[in-house]
Amino acid sequence: MIKVHDMDQTQAAAIPVRFVRATSLVLFIVCLMYLITYIDRVNIATAGPLIQRELELSNRDLGIAISAFAYPYAFFQIVGGLVSDRFGPRLTLIVCGAIWSLATVATGWVGGFASLIAARLLLGIGEGCAFPAATRALSAWMSKARRGWAHGITHSFARLGNALTPPLIAALIGLGSWRTSFFIVGSASFLWVLLWASYFRDDPRDHKYVTADELKVLPDVKPHPKRTSMPWRRLLIRMLPVTLTDFCYGWTLWVYISWMPSFFLHEYKLDLKNAAFFASAVLLAGVVGDTVGGVLSDVILKRTGSLVLSRTGVIVLGFLGAFACTVPIFFAKDLYVIAACLGGAFFFAELIVAPIWAVPMDITPEYSGTASGFMNLGFGIAGMVSPVTFGWIIDATGRWDLPFLASLGLLLIGALLALTMQPGRRLLIER
- Over residues 340-382, the pLDDT tens digits come to 999 999 999 999 988 998 898 888 877 777 888 888 888 888 8
Within its chain, how far is the Cα of 333 from the centroid? 31
The set of residues, in sequence order, having a beta carbon less than 8 Å from that of 360 and lying 6+ positions away, is 135, 239, 242, 368, 371, 372, 374, 375
Question: % helix / strand / coil in the chain, to the nearest 5?
Answer: 80, 0, 20
Distance CA 323, CA 319 (A): 6
In angstroms, rounded to a whole number, what is the distance separating the alpha carbons of residues 300 and 313? 9
Instruction: Assign domain 21-202+233-418 to its CATH superfamily.
Output: MFS general substrate transporter like domains (1.20.1250.20)
- Quote the pLDDT of residue 313: 94
Cβ atoms of 403 and 394 within 8 Å: the answer is yes
Residue 225: per-residue pLDDT: 53
Q: Which residues contact 27 (CB under 8 A, 6 or more apart)?
A: 138, 141, 142, 150, 153, 154
pLDDT, position 119: 95
Interval 146-173: pLDDT, tens:
777 787 788 888 878 877 888 899 899 9
Cβ neighbour number for residue 177 with a 10 Å cutoff: 15
Quick check: 110 and 60 in contact, CB under 8 A?
no
Q: Give the global pTM.
A: 0.72
Q: Helix (H, G, I), strand (E, B), or coil: what is residue 201?
A: coil
Distance CA 43, CA 164 (A): 10
Q: What is the DSSP string of 111-155?
A: -SHHHHHHHHHHHHHHHHTHHHHHHHHHHHHS-GGGHHHHHHHHH
pLDDT tens digit string along 305-338? 898 999 999 999 999 999 999 998 888 788 889 8
CA dihedral 297, 302, 306, 309 (to 10 degrees): -30
Residues of the chain with pLDDT under 50: 1-18, 228, 431
Instruction: Write the Ramachandran bin of 305: left for phi over 0, alpha for psi from -120 to 50, otherwise beta.
Output: left
CB within 8 Å of 426: residues ≥ 6 apart:
362, 363, 364
352 three-class SS: coil
pLDDT of residue 93: 95
Cβ atoms < 10 Å from Cβ of 226: 6
Residue 78 near residue 373, CB atoms below 8 Å: yes
Number of other residues whose CB lies within 10 A of the CB of residue 149: 22
pLDDT of residue 366: 73
CA separation for the pair 140, 101 (Å, rounded):
26
Task: Count CB-CB contacts under 10 A for residue 301.
Answer: 22
Q: Are 229 and 219 in contact (CB under 8 A)?
A: no
